[in-house]
Amino acid sequence: MNRQLPLGLQMRASARFSGFLAGPNQEAVDQLKQTAAGTGEPFFLLWGAAGCGKSHLLQAACHLAAEHGRTVTYVSLATLAGLSPELLEDWENYQLVCIDDVHCIAGDRAWEEALFNLYNRIRERGGNLLVSSRSAPAGLAFALPDLASRLGWGLVYQLQPLNDEQRLAALQQRASQRGCEMPAETGRYLLRRLPRELPALFELLDRLDEASLVAQRKLTVPFVKSVLGL
């Protein structure tokens, strides 16, 4: 993988399957791992609300594929304003192509045709294509009807949100990976008082962890209150 990439093509090194609490999405994760390794379905679409983990899983699939010696590439269409759809030319030469946020190009004929043609070229070459969206293919307002049809040919999974106990477990897992402890009492306090989307909670946890290292304090409720001004 080329690390010198534009922002929309960059992947987080921390985006791994080990850092994703599957909860009710275990079947989708298992199928995604197979596709990433080249042993599963050739086409895969994940959809769900913002913050449910779509980008994390697509990037995790790229990392897993690379570990299997496969050539991979990734792009988030949410961060490529002003770039030409010619970006997708020759991407069928990669064994795994991951395209995030395809809803962002709905109604853009040039981008839709580029993605449609890439899909067909990947199919001819026998590669794998993973895409994500905020809605199922039929709900995307594509100007090119055949594109929605193509994206629905493979596996389609809706990512389900975690319940409160699963969110707490995800916070504690993230804290453990950072080398700190998130007491259950503190985690429940954060879930009650703050936005419940996991990406926002993870960013907050990173901030709290840095503050605890500086202050040499544990992540107790009083310490969290003082850091966040609650």
Q: DSSP readout, 173-194? A: HHHHHTT----HHHHHHHHHHS
Residues linked to residue 98 through DSSP beta bridges, in sequence order: 74, 130
Do residues 8 and 88 make contact, with C-beta atoms less than 8 angstroms apart?
no
Instruction: Indicate the DSSP class of residue 85.
Output: G
User: Which H or E element spans position 35?
Assistant: helix 26-37
CA distance 144 to 148: 7
Query: And the tokens for 70?
Result: 């496969």
To the question of domain 164-228 being in CATH 1.10.8.60, the answer is yes
User: What pLDDT is recorded for position 197?
Assistant: 77
Do residues 147 and 127 make contact, with C-beta atoms less than 8 angstroms apart?
no
User: What pLDDT is recorded for position 10?
Assistant: 65
Question: 7-158 and 164-228 share one CATH topology?
Answer: no
End-to-end CA separation in angstroms for the chain: 43
User: What pLDDT is recorded for position 155?
Assistant: 93
CA distance 123 to 42: 8
Residues linked to residue 76 through DSSP beta bridges, in sequence order: 100
pTM recorded for the entire structure: 0.82
7-158: CATH number: 3.40.50.300
User: What pLDDT is recorded for position 9?
Assistant: 55
User: What pLDDT is recorded for position 222?
Assistant: 93
- Sketch the domain layout of the chain as residue ranges: 7-158, 164-228
CA distances from 195 to 191, 223, 230 (A): 7, 19, 14
Do residues 1 and 59 make contact, with C-beta atoms less than 8 angstroms apart?
no
User: What pLDDT is recorded for position 57?
Assistant: 95
Which segments in the chain show pLDDT lower than 70? 1-11, 81
